Amino acid sequence: MSRIGKKPITIPQGVEVVFSDSILQVKGPKGELRVKVHPLVDIEIKDTEAQVSPKDDSRFANALWGTFASHLKNMIKGVTEGFEKQLVVEGIGYKVDLQGNKIVLNVGFSHPVELEIPADLEVSVDKNTIAVKGIDKQKVGQFASEIRAVKKPEPYKGKGIRYSDEVVRRKEGKRVAS
């Protein structure tokens, strides 16, 4: 049984949720999101509440039940508030620039690394901080992880790209024998 799926999901004012032909569509003030729902999951929409339920008692249907309940909650939050991930670039000489629809990272390699910004995301750069914003939680997290993967933080000096709330465990360097 899914604890997440049992709870009804409240639909705030100004958000429209439509479920038909196994497509879940959520419209709100910030935009519109769609997702294809698995046939083992059913979604009932009544006035200001939505209820997700499995169609049978199989273990797979119960797993999908909670998953699609979380997807629906995230979609509603995305079209009302949006999602944001912040990354911090640390290191001497490390720079970040925006050039059109590309983000250019100079992070200690012999060449700058260019990443194409997806069309439905906003990226802003302020000194050594990168902010990735959008309405789709999965796309925001995916692009933020692609940026971080360019130069992960190293444990000795902490240089690299990390999330703003990430804690880098520092190691002690080599000791000089006397």
Task: Write down the CATH superfamily of domain 83-163.
Answer: Ribosomal protein L6 (3.90.930.12)
- Mean pLDDT along residues 115-121: 94
Tokens of 94: 């490390």
Domain 3-80 shares a fold with domain 83-163: yes
- Determine contact, residues 126/52, Cβ cutoff 8 Å: no
The candidate with the shortest Cα–Cα distance to 19, out of 58, 46, 54, is: 46
168 — pLDDT class (breaks 50, 70, 90): confident
Q: Where are the domains of the chain?
A: 3-80, 83-163
Q: What is the mean pLDDT of the chain?
A: 92
Check pLDDT > 70 for residue 176.
no
Contact between 114 and 102 (Cβ < 8 Å): yes
State mean pLDDT over 50-64.
91
Instruction: Indicate the CATH number for domain 3-80.
Output: 3.90.930.12
DSSP single-letter state for residue 178: -
Confidence of residue 41 (pLDDT cuts 50, 70, 90): very high
Give the pLDDT score at 3.
Answer: 83
pLDDT over 70 (residue 1): no
Chain segment 67-97, per-residue pLDDT in tens: 999 999 999 999 999 999 999 999 999 999 9
In this predicted structure, the answer to whether residue 167 has a pLDDT above a threshold of 90 is no
